[in-house]
Structure formats: structure tokens, C-alpha cells
Structure 1
Amino acid sequence: MKNLFKQYGITIFIGAAAIVAWDMLTRFGGLNPVIFPKLNEVFSVFYTAGNELFAGLMSSLKLLFPAYLGSIILGIGGGVFFGLLTRIRQILMPYVHLLSPLPPTLFVPYAIAVLPTFESASIFLIFIGTFWPIFLGTLQGVLIIDKQYLDNAKTLGLKGSDFLTKVIVPAASPYILSGAGQALTLSFLILTMAEMFGAESGMGYFIQYYTDFAYYDYVIAGMIFNCAVILIALLLFEKLKKRLLFWTNLKADNETGKSK
């Protein structure tokens, strides 16, 4: 606990100061009490609508999980494929450069028109938005692998799946996980956007629904809940990333020891 406060003491102080400032402004600052409700009103929402918030979270995860998992599988597979096959990469990379910057919102009309349900359209949009960071991160990771590693793998006779799982993917994993982290952040952004305009449940729907009725204590509570969920997801991802990339930390420690 002491180490936690030492590491995040300033962060905690900034958050506490923001809470105190909000409380003072809503009580004595003359702000519109409808748009800027008091803190006790906001936090009471977690008691009165807690079940609704968690039900929305479960609904959101049903959209987020399959889309993100699909992006992981196809993004890594496609990035490795493009990275290893030079001729195919030369032919198709112009299309990658053309399509990857397009925002998922451009595909909304076709997603709604072609796909049968809101859920399938949302999963498709989240997939489109999260695929490219993982694909491009994987591709970059494969392309910068030191040729010495590839030559050593050939010398050892590694081929097929052994070559991919023991050489290519581990060597490119820092870039793969970097792209996956960016995609995770984007997935929540696209999910919330989709739910605010067409869903009947979910974290984004909760905020939009109570905005329509000007219940801003519920709106702010929903925003806080969303932020907490995203923060927890990113922290868990960072822990997973550090565990998977433990060898990079060991390498950094060894290099630091040599420099001393």
C-alpha cells in the first residue's frame, strides 16, 4: 500500500483535487444544477441503478469480445502472412494504405443495410476499427526481425508452425501487443459510439438514454462507470503484456547492468 501511494501519490492527489473542485463548484459556484449535479446525487446512482449499469456492461461485452477476438486472430495472421511473403505484400500494400486510415463510421450505412441485426453490425464496425492496428503492428514487427534470427532458424531446420510460433511471433510480439493495446482502446470508443445511436442496452446506451431525459446525474455516473471499466481493462492488458514480454524486461535489466 505504501509503495502504491508512493508511485501514484500525485495521481491520487490530482483526482482528489478534481473531486473537491467539482463538489465546491456544484455547491457554491452557481452552476446549473441540472447539467452539473452534486456529487452525492451522482454517486447515489450507483446504488439505485447499479444492476442496470452491470447489465449494460454484460451487453457491451457480448459485442466487444467476438469483434476483438476476431481482430486478434485475423490481424496477427494477416500481418505475419504479409510480412513473410514479399511479392504479395508489394502487390497488396497500396490497398492496405488506402483502406487502413478509413474511420469505421464510413461503413455504418452498409453495415446497417447489409447485416441483419444491430448486434452483427456493431461487431463488424468494432472489428473494422480494431483489425488495422493489430495487423499493421504485426506487419511492422515481422518486417524488422533481425535477419540473423531467421538464418539461425533455418540452420536449426525450423519450418512451418514451429518457425512461426518459436521465431516469428515471439520476435514480433512487442509490436503485436502494442497494436493490440491501441485496438483495445479503439474498441471501447467504437462500441460506445455504436450503442449511443442504435442499441437497446449497453454502456453507451445507458448514457444516451438518460441524456434524452436530461437526467445528468445518471449520465455522469454512466461516464464514470465507462471510464472505470476501460481503465480496468487497460490495466489488465498492461499486466498481461508485461507477463508475455518478460524477456524484454530481463534484456533491459541486463543492458542496464552492463552500462553500470
Structure 2
Amino acid sequence: MFKFAKQYWITILIGAAAIIGWQLMTTKANFLNPVIFPDFGEIFGVFTRSGEELLQGFVSSMKLLVPAYVASVVLGISGGIFFGLNNTVRKILMPYVHMLSPLPPTLFIPYAIALLPSFQSASIFLIFLGSFWPIFLGAIQGVLIIEKQYLDNAKTLGLKGYDFLFKVIVPAASPYILSGAGTSLTLSFFILTMAEMFGAESGMGYFIQYYSDFAQYDYVIAGMIYNSAVILIALLLFEQLKKRILFWTNLKTDSD
């Protein structure tokens, strides 16, 4: 704890100053509308009153995000490596990849709702669609930058099949794959929140939208803080995992 405070003391001071400034502008100076910007006592009181509801929302959100993200990781890595290793397939299909990958998942909402049997399956599909492309493209790029001499050396040593794939290709491409996976994780939360705010009956995004409809802004801001904390923890855990996998590089994270 002391190490954390020593490393992030400026960050902590900025956060404390923001809270104090918020309090002064809402309760003392009346510079901000106290209905829309309630004081932090009311906001943190929400966590006491609705802690169980927030936890249930987290569980509901993870039921959408986890399967979609895992599917995007598995299919993105395997598909990207396949494209990267097969020049003919890549030359034929990459124009379609360049055409489809920039499209935002929101464009597919009408088809997801019309073709899939439930809101849950539609949401999982949209999250998968948004998180798949960065991993897929990162895997392709990671394979393509491997120097030819390393591939030739591996073949000279008789490496082929799974040995060639998992001892040469995957480790060499892993920095780009994990970079894409980090981007995809952030996008997954963005799409998850968007989906829950417009069609869910539970979840972290639904919590914000529900209380926004009733103008209970202490609950809205508490939900935003809760969402931000969950996303921050997920990203920090991912960075630690990334650091462990890429121990052989000079990678440094913000926690170093």
C-alpha cells in the first residue's frame, strides 16, 4: 500500500483535488446545479444502499462480455495467424477485411436484433464483432513482421506443425497480438455499456440508464464511477498478464 501511494501520490492528489473542487462548487459556491452534480456524500451513499444491485449488474455484464471476448481472442488469433502464414488467402481476402473491419458494430444492430433469438445473444455478437478485428489484424501484422531468417532457421532445425506454430510463430507475433487484445478489451466494455443502455434489463450500463430516466443523478454518477473502476481493474490485470507473457521483452507497464 505504501509503495502504491509513493508511486501514485500525484495521481492521488489530483483525484482528491477534483473531489474537493466538486464539493466546493456544489455545496458552497453553488456554481454547479446540485441536482445534476450531487455532493460526494450522496454519491458514495449509493454504494451502501445499492451495493447488491451493482454486484448483480457486474455479474450480468460479465455474462455478455466474457464469452464474446474469449471468442474474439480465440478466433482472432487463429484466423490472424492463418492469414499471416498463407499469402494466397491473404491476397484474395484482405480487401474484404479492409472493407469490413472499419465498420462500427452499431451498424449491425438491426440485423443482430432481427436474426438472433435474444438480447443476450445479440449483445454477445456485437461485442464479439467489435473486439475481433483488432486481435485479428494484430495477429496478421505480428506474423508478417517475423524476419525470414528466423523462419528459415526453424525449418532448418526441423520444426514444423505445432512445434513451428507454438515455438516460433506465436511467441514472435505475441507483442502485436496482445496489443490488439488490449485494444479489444477496451472496445468490449464500450460496446457492452452501449448495448445495456438501450436494451438490457440488468447490467452496469443498464444501471446508469435506468436511474438517468428518473433523474437520480447520484445513482448515475455512482454507476459511472463503478463502471470506471471495473474497467480500470480489468485493464490493470490485463497489463500484468501481458507483462508475464512478454517477460522476454523490454515491456514496461504503468505499474512498474
After TM superposition, the score normalised by the length of structure 2 is: 0.96
What residue in structure 2 maps to residue 185 of structure 1? 186
Work out the CA distance in 2 between the residues paired with 1:18 and 1:217: 17
Distance, in Å, in 2 between the alignment partners of 1:75 and 1:29 is: 53
SS at match of 1:246: coil
What is the count of residue pairs matched by the alignment?
251
* TM alignment of 1:80-119, pairs within 5 A: 80-119=81-120
CA distance in 2, matches of 1:12, 1:41: 21
Distance, in Å, in 2 between the alignment partners of 1:183 and 1:23 is 36
SS in 1 for 2:24: helix
DSSP 3-state at the match of 1:141: helix
Alpha-carbon deviation of 1:162? 1.1
Q: Deviations over 1:113-144 (max 9, x none)?
A: 00000000000000000000000111100000
Partner of 1:79: 80
Mapping for residues 44-63 of structure 1, pairs under 5 Å = 44-63=45-64
Runs of 4+ in 1 over 4 A off after TM superposition: none
* Shift, 1:205, TM fit: 0.2
Partner of 2:6: 6
In the alignment, the residues of structure 1 paired with residue 85 and residue 224 of structure 2 have an alpha-carbon distance, to the nearest angstrom, of 43
Kindly indicate which of the two structures has a greater share of residues assigned to helix. 1
Secondary structure in structure 1 of the residue aligned to 2:56? helix
Question: In the alignment, which residue of structure 1 is the partner of 2:25?
Answer: 25
List aligned pairs for 1:150-161, cutoff 5 A. 150-161=151-162
2:135 is matched by which residue type in structure 1? I
Corresponding residue SS for 1:248: coil
Q: Deviations over 1:52-77 (max 9, x none)?
A: 00000000000000000000000000
Q: Distance in 1 between matches of 2:227 and 2:243?
A: 24
Render the CA deviation track for 1:195-235: whole Å, top value 9, x for unaligned.
00000000000000000000000000000000000000000
In structure 1, the residue matched to 2:129 is 128
Give 1:100 shift: 0.3
Letter in 2 for 1:22: W
| Helix, strand or coil at the partner of 2:25 | helix
CA displacement at 1:81 relative to structure 2? 0.4
Residue of structure 2 equivalent to 1:35: 36
Structure 2: give runs of 5+ residues left out of the alignment: none
CA RMSD of aligned residues (A): 1.1
Q: Which stretches in structure 1 are left out of the alignment for 5+ residues? A: 253-260
Given residue 139 of structure 1, which amino acid in structure 2 is its aligned partner? Answer: I
Seq. identity, %: 75
Residues 5-27 of structure 1 deviation map (CA, whole Å, 9 limit, x = unaligned): 33211111111111111111111
Shift of 1:249: 2.8
Q: Which amino acid aligns with 1:154?
A: K
Whole-angstrom distance in 2 between the partners of 1:169 and 1:108? 34
Measure how far apart 1:3 and its partner are. 3.2
Cα distance in 2 for partners of 1:120, 1:169 equals 31
Counterpart amino acid of 1:159? K
